[in-house]
Structure formats: C-alpha cells, structure tokens
Amino acid sequence: MRPVHKTLDQFLTYKMHRLMKQHDKRIAQSYADTAQLSLAESRVLAAVGTAGALSNSELARRANLDKSQASRGADGLVSRGLVRRAPDEHDGRAVKVTLTPEGERVWRVVIDAARTHYDQLFATLTDDEMGVYEQLLDKLLLRSDELDEQG
C-alpha cells in the first residue's frame, strides 16, 4: 500500500526537488569558484562538451534549461570565447553550438567539479543501493517522458 502524504515534505517529488536545489546551490558555487561560470553557463558547456554540436532546442533539453536560459548561457560562453555558433550544415536556417579549444579546457574543469560533487553526494549509498536508485530514476524518467508526450 502506498503511503498517505499529509504534508508537502512527505512527497517523494518534493524531496527530490529539495535535494536538487541543494545540489544546484553547492555546484553553482563550485562552478563560479573554479571556472567563473554561472550554473546555466556550466550546464550549457557540459551539454555541448558531452554531446558535441547542438542546436538551441537540443541544447535546452540536454542542459535541462528552458530555451531562454540556454540561449543566455550560450551567449555568455560565446562572449568568453568558450563556445561558438555556426550554421548547421544540414539546415541553413539552424545554428549549432560547439566548443572552442578553450571551451574544451574549461569543460574538463566543469566535468571534474561535477564528478566531485556527484561522488560526495552518492558516497552515502552502497553499490547495490546506487544500482537500485539508478534503475528507479530511469523508470520514473521514462514515465515522465510518456506523460509529457500525452500532453
């Protein structure tokens, strides 16, 4: 039987959101300290560094930002010479965002900082617990995607 939630802080989704807000606060400070980047800029840099050239809509989705946040993050990175925008070779109307050589260097700093925070947070879980947690999150993400598609 599923538990009855009497207060907001008993909802699993509330707890997950609280965890992510705390994590975002800590990691944003780390990105600012190590790379002088905002959280949005760091997410954009991480998305492009991990996936390669991305359109603005792909960038927003992969960086888990809305389109305006992703665009502003990319603008900041362009002005610092960390990413560039270039026409998409397959669609002349579209633009792709890619890393510059300096962006590649900073991306490695950002990924190392992210890995450190990830390891610190999840150090409390055993390998078995981590496997179960990843399975459950994957299952919930798939269901969430299904619900989004249903409208």
Question: Would you kindly state where each structural domain of the chain is located, as residue ranges?
Answer: 8-114
Instruction: List pLDDT tens digits, range 22-75.
Output: 999 999 999 999 999 999 999 999 999 999 999 989 999 999 999 999 999 999
Name the CATH topology of 8-114.
Arc Repressor Mutant, subunit A (1.10.10)
What is the model's pLDDT at position 4? 74
Chain length of the chain:
151
Residue 2: pLDDT band (50, 70, 90) is confident
The whole-angstrom separation of Cα 31 and Cα 75 is 17
Contact 103, 85 (CB under 8 A): no
Per-residue confidence (pLDDT) for residue 1, from 0 to 100: 65
Name the strands in the sheet holding 95-99, side by side, starting at the edge strand that comes first in the sequence.
54-55, 95-99, 83-87
- What are the pLDDT digits (tens) for 93-148? 788 999 999 999 999 999 999 999 999 999 999 999 999 999 999 999 999 999 99
User: What tokens appear for 65 in the block?
Assistant: 């930002």
